[in-house]
Copies of this chain bind each other. A is one copy, B any other.
Amino acid sequence: MRDVCVLGLGLIGGSVLRAAVAAGVPAWGASGTSSAAAATADGYDVDTTAGALRRAADRDALVVLAVPLTATEQVLRQIAAVAPRCRLTDVVSVKAPVADLVRRLLPDARYVGGHPMAGTAESGWPAGSATLFRDAAWVVLTENHLDGELREVWLDVVQLALDTGAHVVPVSAADHDAAVARISHLPHVLAAVLASVGADGGPLALALAAGSFADATRVAGTNPELVRAMCEGNRSELLAAVDDTLGRLGAARGALASTGSLRATLHDGHRGRLALDAARAANRKRLDVELAAEGAFTQLAELGGRGGRIVALDGSIAAVDVPA
């Protein structure tokens, strides 16, 4: 069981620390914000960033970087000063920019990126919980170059995710960034646009707003600077997703104006939503992947791309549930 050091104790980092402690993992944290005092008051082991990192270096702990993308560079420099060789993962919602920064600022760190797909519209330590990741997907970057020490860190990260109650989706950074642009970053942009168009309707529109509007704009309640960091960090993939949306919405506009029909738009969307429900309800079969085998990580990333998820680690065998 690898010790865990969490840097950043907001919603996600605070939940990682709570969940690790609840699973019996030796874990401590640090935060540059008021979350540090709140976590200490709740009885968690909170140190200065330098102190937390010295302990991480001494114990060869897994360092979990859990600050917004905009603060990543500064924290990576702090790590470089104290624990430049550390085992490192992160929970940032875009992977390519973080990997670039790590390569530049912490070239000797043993880094395997991650991204738990869970959250609420709230932020800060008080919003977190030990059960936030239960039954959630936790992406762990899985590329074919993983070997030696990196493979060990990959196992640390997968084990931490499983310990928090999540299942692990093994994918490449590029596949991750393209997918989350569609199902996380785009929904935030659309929620913001819809909230604006609704509010432009004045007090009457807001008085008549029911579930469809409230649900679809919920994430527009999130701190917009956190959403910016996330969306702007995934610029090129998000642009592609926005362009798909503009194309489909423009087609809907054209059809409604010319023929009066939204048939294609609404039936396509209904099928898309049924596909989500079907993916969640799919029967799954268990596949054991021997991690020491040639091409194992390539196979894992391919299974992840098909909706497969690691649900347990047993020595060097990963148990993967794959849609049947």
Contact = CB atoms under 8 A, between A and B. Distances in A.
A41 interface: no
A199 interface: yes
Interface in A277-304: 277, 279-280, 304
A323 interface: yes
Given A183-B213, A213-B184, A269 B196 contact: yes
A158 B118 CA distance: 43
B203 A182 contact: no
A140 interface: no
How many copies altogether?
Answer: 2
A213 B253 CA distance: 22
A209 B244 CA distance: 18
Contacts of A76: none
A256 B242 contact: yes
A141 to B, nearest CB: 13
A139 to B, nearest CB: 7
Interface of A: 117-120, 136-137, 139, 169, 171, 175-176, 178-180, 182-184, 186-224, 227-228, 231-232, 235, 238-239, 241-246, 248-250, 252-253, 256-257, 260-263, 265-277, 279-280, 304-307, 309, 323
